[in-house]
Every structure is written in C-alpha cells, then in structure tokens.
Chains A and B, each alone.
Chain A
C-alpha cells in the first residue's frame, strides 16, 4: 500500500489530486474518485469555485461500492470544471501534469484520474465520461480507460454535466486491473432510474471481426495513423481478427450533435447553482433575487462554464429548439442505428482515441474553443450513442503514449475486456519513470 507521504510527494510534482485522505489504512486495494463524485469524508468541488466549500453528506454509489468491497479511497482527482474540457486546464484549482512529460497535459476531463492510474501501481481511478473524458486522458497518459454503457453504473452522487450522456467508468494501468474491479460498481440502483433496465453482464471469450470507420481517419496525422496501422496488423496477424474498413456517413454530424445536447443539458443542470443551498453564497441578501443569483454565478463559474451555459441556453430558446436540440437528438438516434447495423456483421469498432499526442500547455493556450471541441471528434461518437468503449495504449511517439479505442454494442463490455486482455498479452505498455 502506498504511504500518504509518497502520495503527497508525487502530488507535489504532478498535481493529480485536489485532496488526499488524512489517513490511509490497509485495505484490499486503493482507489481514487474524480472530484465530481460525492464523498462524505472529503470535499467535492467538481473543479469549480462554485463548490469550493462543499462537503457532501453522502458517498456516490460507485464510491460506496468500492469502499464496501475493501477499497481505500486515497483522494479526489483533479478535473476540468464540471467536466467541461479536453485538457484538465479549465479548473479553478490545480492542473495535473502528464506523467510522461510535465510540460504536457494529462487530457481531460478526468485528467487527474488518468495521471493517478499511470503513476500509482495497481491503482483504480474512478472517472466520468460525457464526451470522451475517460478515453482522452487514458490515451494521453498511457493507461487503459473503460467507459461502460450509459446506465450500466449508477449515477447517484455524480455532479451532473449532461444527464443523457454522463457515464462513470474506470482507469487503470492495465485491462487486467479493470477486469478485477469493474463488476463491483455495476448494477441496478433505484436511486438512478436509468440504471434499472439493463441486461446482465455478458462475458466473451471469442471475437472475430473489427470494423474501422473510414470517416474517422480523415485528417488524422501520420504520427498517429502509423502506430494505429501497426496495431491493426497485430490484430489481424497475431489475434486472427478480420479487420474491415466501413462507411459511417453520420459521423460527420456527431460532434455538433453532441455539443448541442451536452450544452443544452448542462445549462439546465447548472441552473441549480444559485448561491443558497450549497457551495458558494452571495454576500448581500438585500439584493433582488435575479441580481443575487446572477452575481453569485458570474463570480464563481469559470469562463468555459459560462460559455457552455450560454450555448445551451441559446439552443433551447423558443424558435431554436427544433433546429438544434431536437435535430441533435435525431442525429444521435440515426448514429445508433448506423452502429447497430455495423455490429450485425462486426464485433467491435476501432479508431485511434485522439487525433494527436498529449499537447504542451503552451500550445493549448493558443487553441480556440472550437478547435478544442473538434479535438474530441473520435471520442464523441461512442459517448453520443451511449455505447461502451475502451481506450488502450497501442504505440508511443516521442516517448508519449498513443491510444486506440474499441467500441462495442450496448451492454457488451465483456467483449471490450476480452479484446483488451488479449491485446495486452501481445503489446508491452511503457510505464512513466516516476511510477511507484
């Protein structure tokens, strides 16, 4: 078991935890929770000044489940504010650094979780994905990230970003580690109705065919495509998989559809922060209530949060709802059908996880909001469809890890884990120098 002193030292260098538990008793295994999962022993901020003082009176269902099965909670991991970001840089607090190069990002929004999974041997990090917040940091930090089917894990105790997209999953140094623990957090929970209608876990011990969407590879640089193609060769020659290119024209619309749905839902979710019941409060109760709420919200939300609230409020306004929100829901349904047609023939879909290696912080500062949104284009489709997906290391460029992302039909997480376990028998992962 890692000591608290070792953890503090590691955190000083990499900033992956917002807070670390006061005591770390012996347990069967150690885990961390992204800071948008409530914990009654530790503050929960979701990376926002708005919740800077919030101490929840209850544990999130996933946290509760891991504690009950012998898990010791090490701390809460850093993230983009409310999950709004791709690089974990949109935070009111510490920004985590990449375990392979501290001048680069961990990815986001579960950046601290991926960093912890990469640096602490045998660690299980609970992450949350809305549009790729598990896959992206898993790819940048060289770890495995499993995002289960929407509804597979109870969202009770999750500080929502977008209700119809949020999913709780796990990051770890290997698929083997995830296989050991993932079933502890799945199952029906009456506190989250969307977790109450899923079929049982389906184990798989055979896979035959993988589809690669042609459109997903458009514009991906050679430094990513080359190791990805080498991975396809291993899948074909050493794992005996049939690999076929397929067309998914609807992918072109996945990214705008996702951002419309995500910001629409976020703008209603974040309406609850009015400075009265929890978190930041205003100083002057003599203000008119409109002014009071606006003041608290404007002073405590970060720039990206305000931008997404503005976008989501606009796309739900009278006259725009059908053009944006309803259209985006229709695109989601059409993409689900496209994927289901492909899964009638193939077991899994496969793409690179991200279109580039972990960028340097100085380059992130130069990116516009739209450029950042577009960098999520490979992780958005499975998240939009609610289908389970697994990002797993498949190569290294300039010592930096590259991930590939398997996608399975709804409820077929067993197929992903089987693919991952077989893959890691053939491919050797690199560990960062500071792993303990």
Chain B
C-alpha cells in the first residue's frame, strides 16, 4: 500500500494522520494485506452468507411505545432547543 492510498483510505475513514504516521501505516498495512493475500489461493467456493448461522426473519406486530425516554438519550448530547448541535454542513 503506498502513501497515496493510505491518505485516500484515511479520508474515507474520516481519520487524520501526520506524514510520519502515513509512512509507517503504509508499511504496516502492506505487510498485513500481503498476509490477507493468502485468500487468493482459495478458488471454486460459491456459497456465502452474512452470518455464520441461519437467521430467520421474524416479524411482529407494530407496537407504539417509548423504549428509552428521549430526555435520557439527550442527556449526553450538546443540544439547543431540543435539537442536537452539530458542525457546519458547508
């Protein structure tokens, strides 16, 4: 993995690194990805599932109720007039 790719992945992952960290990560991630390359040896497998067990869709009747009171959930948030405060969008 080159430093350009590290920077691109970091941008997608919303992480920031110094130039020194980028250099180090490029080497570390390359080593680990080379190991992941073992998977290239495996051929001819078709089946796959997102879970290791069969998960059956079970539907229930909709029921209106409050699981956790909104004020409890908002206790840890920075709010203004009942809205969660966030950074600028533009």
Contacts and interface: CB of A to CB of B under 8 A. Distances in A.
Interface of A: 53-55, 57-58, 149-151, 164-165, 190, 193-194, 196-198, 252-253, 256-257, 259-260, 267, 271, 274, 276-279, 281-282, 284-295, 297-298, 301, 306-307, 309-311, 313-315, 317, 323-324, 326-334, 336, 368-370, 373, 384-387, 410
Contacts, number: 177
A80 to B, nearest CB: 17
Interface in B32-70: 32-33, 35-42, 45-58, 60, 68-69
Contact of A333 (B39, B45, B58, B84): B45
A324 B36 contact: yes
A362 to B, nearest CB: 21
A333 B33 CA distance: 22
Contacts of A271: 14
B58 A315 contact: no
Contacts of B1: 314
A197 B58 contact: yes
B39 A285 contact: no
Contact of A334 (B45, B73, B89, B90): B45
A55 B76 CA distance: 8
Contacts of A373: 32, 35
A369 B9 contact: no
Given A290-B14, A307-B29, A410 B76 contact: no
A370 B45 contact: no
Interface of B: 1, 5-6, 9-10, 12-17, 25, 28-29, 31-33, 35-42, 45-58, 60, 68-69, 72-73, 75-78, 84-90
A117 B1 CA distance: 42
A317 B38 CA distance: 19
A100 to B, nearest CB: 32
Contact of A149 (B15, B53, B58): B53
A277 B15 contact: no
A151 B56 CA distance: 12
A282 B86 CA distance: 9
B47 to A, nearest CB: 5
A279 to B, nearest CB: 8
Contacts of A149: 53
Contacts of B49: 329, 332-333
A294 B39 contact: no
A164 B51 contact: yes
Contacts of A295: 16
B31 A329 contact: no
B73 A57 contact: yes
Given A292-B87, A330-B47, A410-B53, A311 B39 contact: no
B56 A309 contact: no
B36 A310 contact: no
Nearest to A285: B87
